[in-house]
Structure formats: structure tokens, C-alpha cells
Amino acid sequence: MSIEGLIIDGGGLGRGIHVRAWFTTMTSSTITNCLSTTTDGAAVLVSGGAFNAYNSVFSQSRAPNGGAIAANSTLTLGNCAFDDNRATAGDGGAVYSPSPVGVTNDLTTFDRNQASHDGGALFFSSASVRTATLRTVSFTRNVAAGSGGALRLGNKSGARTSQASFVANEAAVGGGAVDATGVTSAAFSARSSLFNGNTAGTPRVADDVTGVASSLGYNFFETSPTAFAQTTDRRGVTPGAIGFSTRTIAGMVSIYAEPTYIGAHTDTGSCV
């Protein structure tokens, strides 16, 4: 099923879409102000089939888990924006995927989403080995009352990011940007990505990534996770001293090339 140009304002009264058992593609749409008090995914609940969303906006929606989207099946997001969604009783302020078949996320922004537990923006957990692909994604000002200000991975779930940015995310417990603590089979990995201004703990201290993680090179960190040890990574970098090649798609600026130094920076060598 194809949906284009759909606008749903739930008025704070109910869910937007329930995808039960079919392949659904949504483009150029907006779903906002939806509410689910007892089941997950206020804007979109994917309980079967597959859901693809492109050039769409999900905002100001509330659900126990997955304020905007809860998906137990294949989920693909391209050039979407998630703003001010909340998981009111659990995980995944914007997106909750407890048993994903596959998650692909390109050119998407997550801003000001909140979770009352883990994963301020995204929560992935699977009983079988699954790795989400996150390319050219921006996480900004997301908050978790538990762990993983932007992203929380659990069980056997992993995530691979490239050309992503994690800026000013917060977690009360650990992993200001990403928490992969306790992941048993997969891991978090990053390439050509920026981590800056992420904090965790009480009181808040600089904290980018915790748990099972590895670097694929060319990352920039405000702090230095010991799991990241590529010689092409940099730590202690002044935010204004980093440059990325960018392009604008549907009004959103996205990183698409290897980052380069454009000014003076503090470089203490590889991230160890």
C-alpha cells in the first residue's frame, strides 16, 4: 500500500496508523499530536508486514514505548524528521523496535525526543542477532531518564552508523549518546561521525558511548571511549574546528562525506 501527502493531527486523542500485515510505503506526510495510553507507537504501530517512510515528519506524539513508531517488523526511514516525541512509560522516545527484522535509517533527524527509561530517540533490542543501519543521521537534544540519550541497544541488537552526528544528548544513567551495555552478540560501531556535548550521570558529565562499541575510523569525540582506538579518530576536538561536506535535502542539512579539519583543533592522538 502506498500513502502520499497524508496529514494526520491526532488531537492528542488516538493513534495515527496501524500496519498489521502488509507492505506500506508513506511519502511526504506528517503525523503529529497522536496519543496511545495503553499500547506502543502513537503515530505508527507496525505489528506485521513492513513500513517505509520517506520525506515525512513525526512530531509531538506520546505512547508508553515508541512515542512516534513502534515496529516489530521491517522498518525503513529516509529523510524523515522526529521532533518532540515521548515514550511515557518505557523506551524509545521516537522509535521502539523490540524485535526488529531489519532497520534502515538514512538522512533522518531526531531532535528533542524523550524516554522515561532507555533510548531517548531510538531503542533496539532483539533476541536474535540484528544490526540496524544508520546512515547520515542526526541526533540532537534527546533525553533518556535511563540509559542511551540518543540510542540504546539491548540483547543481541547492534547498530552501525556512518556520517552521523550525536550532539547534546543526555542520559541519567549512562551513554549520553549511545549505550550498548550488555549487548551479547552484536555491537555499536561508528565511522565518520561526530560526538559532542553528550552527557550522562548525576551530576551530568561528558559521556559519549558506553558498552560494546568499536570505531570504523574518522570519528570525532569530545571524550575518549576506550573502545574506540582507530588512529584516524580524534578526541578533545573543539566543536567549531570540525568541518563536514554537506548537502541540503528537503530543508535538512546532512553530512555525506568524510569529515575534515578546517581550523585549529586539540588533538591528543588516537582515541584510546
Tell whether the model's pLDDT for residue 258 goes beyond 90: no
Q: What pLDDT, on a 0 to 100 scale, did the predictor assign at position 180?
A: 92
Structure-model confidence comparison of residues 6 and 130, the more confident one: 6
Tell whether the model's pLDDT for residue 237 goes beyond 80: no
For 104, other C-beta atoms within 10 Å of its C-beta total: 14
Q: What is the mean pLDDT of residues 249-270?
A: 32
Tell whether the model's pLDDT for residue 182 goes beyond 50: yes
Q: What pLDDT, on a 0 to 100 scale, did the predictor assign at position 264?
A: 30
pLDDT in tens, 98-127: 875 678 888 899 999 999 999 999 999 887
Q: Give the highest mean pLDDT range of 55-64, 128-137, 239-248.
A: 55-64
Q: From residue 106, give the alpha-carbon distance in Å to each of 12, 120, 127, 134.
A: 28, 18, 24, 6
Amino acid sitting at position 235: R
- Supply the pTM of this predicted model: 0.86
Tell whether the model's pLDDT for residue 197 goes beyond 50: yes
Q: What pLDDT, on a 0 to 100 scale, did the predictor assign at position 100?
A: 59
Q: From residue 198, give the alpha-carbon distance in Å to each of 5, 38, 84, 117, 220.
A: 35, 31, 18, 17, 12
Structure-model confidence comparison of residues 211 and 271, the more confident one: 211
Q: What pLDDT, on a 0 to 100 scale, did the predictor assign at position 22?
A: 84
Three-state SS string over 19-32 comes to ECCCEEEEECCEEE
